[in-house]
Structure 1
């Protein structure tokens, strides 16, 4: 099972122009999976936390298109906080990681690219069940 160090910030291409800058994302070139689904999170009230779950199969790439927020990644043993605040950086989150998003700034916009279609059966919403799932996978069960 993947460890916390598999989650990482990836830099995206940046084309600088006096009229405004441009960045882009290409599947399997800038991120290590084929993009199957995209969604975005916006209008998050102050103090709210998003996420609080893990995926068994889905991988994600999270970009702060506007504003800033923190993403907390947890592999069941270790936790790491990634602060996203530039639209030319994104966070790769492999499957099997617990994730939460918090500290959203006013007018922040989070773009999430996903490797799978939406599937409620892929989610783990209980942290203790997540740790059990990780232990089973680590022990080959």
Structure 2
């Protein structure tokens, strides 16, 4: 499974830091939706789904969390804890987020508007979909 972390250019001086997000420049798709997760309780897993077509870039704005990514053949777990780095998630990849720090704010950029039919919410269905697509 190819996992791509995108290093975002950080600008700063003694006043602080700034990262600009620009579609088709450092974000490799047109941005149609932006959302963020915060206040996630300890021990809670988020995500627990895959998408049929959606592309996303996840950036931890504050704190940290872990991602479990699964393409049906391989699973990778990684820690996001750098606000100047984005995790590109292509489809179809099963994703779960967990081990949220108390102060975690996770920003997600998506290339499509919300569309329920793009979600695969059952792991068994995910395995069927990727097998059928092979």
Give the one of 82, 104, 107 matched to 1:108.
Answer: 104
For structure 1, the residue ranges without an aligned partner over 5 or more in a row are none
- Once superposed, what is the RMSD of the aligned Cα atoms? 0.8
SS where residue 128 of structure 2 aligns? Answer: helix
Indicate yes or no: 2:75 matched with 1:79: yes
Distance of 1:132 and 1:31 partners within structure 2: 30
SS where residue 86 of structure 2 aligns? Answer: strand
What TM-score comes out, normalization by structure 2 length?
0.97
Give the one of 31, 35, 60 matched to 1:35.
Answer: 31
What TM-score comes out, normalization by structure 1 length?
0.93
Deviation at 1:137, TM superposition (A): 0.8
Where does residue 20 of structure 1 map in the other structure? Answer: 16
Q: How many residues align?
A: 134
SS where residue 132 of structure 1 aligns? Answer: helix
For structure 2, the residue ranges without an aligned partner over 5 or more in a row are none
Where does residue 97 of structure 1 map in the other structure? Answer: 93
Give the one of 44, 48, 53 matched to 2:49.
Answer: 53
SS where residue 47 of structure 1 aligns? Answer: coil
SS where residue 124 of structure 2 aligns? Answer: helix
